[in-house]
Amino acid sequence: MAKRLAVLDADRCVGCQMCMFACNRRFSSGGYSKSAIHVRSVGGVEKGFTVVVCRACEDPPCVKTCPTDALRKRVGGGVLLDPSKCIGCGRCIDACVIGAVFWDEEKNKPIICVHCGYCTRYCPYNVIGLEEV
């Protein structure tokens, strides 16, 4: 069965950003600039946090807006990127109303979660998890 990464309970998020660093580690580098998941406060840490990540739309608007078919639908929702086709136009960013398309400044291409679930191992508070679709 296909799976998707889900935000299970953002109210439990402590803002440690461990998921962001985990996502980046997939590319064997430190930091969070290549992360496909982002955590930020909702107007100051005292108000809590929001976790922004692709929610695996069944019919993703980002696919519809891509002029070069670099984005194609993923089984179970969401998208997969073919970097060789991507021209870095950035239309996918505008198409995503939840802001889950991030940008790789070095490669000038989008970063979108592929729902591998690697980050979930590093969330000690069960804010995120893999769900069967």
Of 33, 55, 80, 131, the one binding other proteins (CB under 8 A) is 33
Q: Which two tokens stand for residue 111?
A: 């970063």
Helix (H) / strand (E) containing 9: none
14 contacts other proteins (rule: CB under 8 A)? yes
In the bound state with other proteins, the residue whose beta carbon lies nearer, of 65 and 122, is 122
In DSSP terms, which residues pair with 130 in a beta bridge? 5
Nearest to 127 by CA among 4, 42, 47, 11: 11
Nearest to 119 by CA among 108, 111, 127: 127
- Contact letters for other proteins, residues 47-66 (x by CB under 8 A): -x------------------
User: Binding to other proteins (CB under 8 A): which residues in 92-111?
Assistant: 105-106
User: How many Cβ atoms sit within 10 Å of the Cβ of residue 12?
Assistant: 14
In the bound state with other proteins, the residue whose beta carbon lies nearer, of 68 and 125, is 125
CA angle (53 as vertex; 41, 89 as ends), nearest 5? 110
Min dist. Cβ of residue 3 to other proteins (A) = 22
Of 15, 83, 88, 90, the one binding other proteins (CB under 8 A) is 15
Of 2, 9, 41, 67, the one binding other proteins (CB under 8 A) is 41
Q: What is the CA radius of gyration of the chain?
A: 14
Contacting positions for other proteins (CB under 8 A): 14-18, 21, 24-25, 28-34, 38-41, 43-46, 48, 105-106, 122, 124-125
